[in-house]
Chains A and B, each alone.
Chain A
Amino acid sequence: MLNLIKCGIGNIGSIKNALNAIGVEPNIAESQSEINHNFKKIILPGVGSFDSFINSLKKKKLFDEIKKLVLLENYKILGICVGMQSFFKNSEEGTGEGLDILKGNLIKFNFKKEFKVPHMGWNNLKILDSKNLLSDLPKTKFYFAHSYYATNVEKKNILSETDHGISFPTCINYKNIYGVQFHPEKSFFQGQKILKNFIDLC
């Protein structure tokens, strides 16, 4: 089982639905004290802007707690969308500092006409390494909704990339840290498979 972090501006409803669909009832933690330490796994979903997400983690005393659990106590963490983006130190979107547990930073899609922003809808993963989160996927088409993307991520930590004007990392893994830019909870069975793969990690 696992802890699902709710920090006010994450879409908890759909993640809970997707977890229920694969037979998992998460422990929903809205503050530091609500994390259940019998489960050494955390899902960190996020929508909204980088700064408002980070601020709301801080307000609920989850910022330092998550950092500690991940870096010192080896909890496995899965960041979804802005949840994943919060792993990095900086984003063009804001002035605040993220969790800084992963090397890289975030920049905005910057195009003229052809490619629209937000990058919104179903797009394919180009799988570079089909291990852990990406093992045995029934399909590789996932739902995206974002305007910023990760860059300067170390190549060995990138499991998949996606094209939208440029090619950018969409599934990353470094040690006990896992992140997806797309929304597995809104991507049918292939998305549920990713959640299941995270749950099955030992």
Chain B
Amino acid sequence: MLKKRIIPTLLIKNDELVKSTKYKNHSYVGDPINVIKIFNEKEVDEIIILDIEKSVTNEDLNYELIQNLASECYMPLTYGGGIKSIEQAEKLFSIGIEKITLNSINYKNLNLMKEITNKFGSQSVIAAVDLNKNIFNKLYLYDWIKKKKIKINIKEHIQQCIEHGAGEILINFVFNEGTLCGFNKRLLDFIDFEIPIPLIINGGINSAKNISECINFSKIDAVGVGAYFIYYGPHKAVLISYQNEIND
């Protein structure tokens, strides 16, 4: 049986590993290569690395750093952040990246996803969406660069991504991110439609029990975990950990 995946989800800014809360207040965690090495030793299912700066600054990607990270990973590595062309995707695949995530670009040019998946296959692209909620707890698509609501229906957007070849959907719950407040599976109540491809959720995971609740939930295929695997104790000391034996 296919194992549901538990995926450390790491953020990079200025080539350093950082951790944010609700996509704000980035604090320094450590050297990304060291952290990846530790996760590799712990035999994690997969790793997602998101460069949170590249979409904002429009700089080209730091391929050297990415290649160094990939060479420490004997498991699948996903990269996201600032990808705007098929050439960039091709270069990432050639230096050892397994999958890429596309996020902001999907609102401007969904054809890029089609182009990349036609050439490299659906399994190579994760469509990422950021969701925030209003004071009535209603979820909406969120533009984290401009820090505002995107006026597109969530379901329609996800279905469009699937139609354009996405191999997986990653939903980031922005208001939960880095808060260690727990992921409540009721957040997925809005999914009243079929998602035929794997769904990864990310944001708020705070315990082994919480991970286990999520992966035992039929709608969820994989769980992204950030702060819970990076911090330890009430003062948030950096201590890399992992839990893999939950549904083995």
Interface residues of A (CB under 8 A from B): 9, 11-14, 16-18, 21, 47-49, 52, 82, 113, 115-124, 141, 143-147, 163-164, 183, 185-189, 191-192
Interface flags, B82-105, vs A, CB<8A=1, else 0: 000000001001111111000000
Known: A17-B73, A49-B118, A118-B122. 6 other contacts (CB 8 A): A11-B94, A48-B120, A82-B121, A116-B197, A118-B197, A122-B45
Contact present for B95 and A47 (CB under 8 Å): no
* B167 in the interface (beta carbon within 8 A): yes
- Shortest distance between the CB of A157 and any CB in chain B (Å): 24
Please report the number of residue pairs spanning A and B whose Cβ atoms sit closer than 8 angstroms. Answer: 117
- Can you report 21 A-B residue pairs in the complex whose CB atoms are below 8 A from each other? A9-B90, A14-B70, A14-B77, A14-B96, A16-B96, A17-B71, A82-B121, A118-B168, A119-B2, A120-B123, A120-B167, A121-B3, A122-B5, A143-B46, A144-B2, A145-B167, A147-B123, A163-B1, A188-B74, A189-B74, A192-B74
The yes or no answer to B4 lying at the interface (CB within 8 A) is yes
Known contacts: A12-B94, A187-B75. The answer to whether A47 contacts B120 by CB under 8 A is yes
Contact of B45 among A116, A121, A163, A192 (CB under 8 A): A121
Q: Are B74 and A13 in contact (CB under 8 A)?
A: no
**What chain B residues lie within 8 Å of A16 (beta carbons)?**
96
Which residues of A have CB within 8 Å of B130?
none
- Total chain B interface residues with beta-carbon distance under 8 A: 39
- Hey, which chain B residues are within 8 Å of A120, CB to CB? 2, 123, 167-168, 198, 221
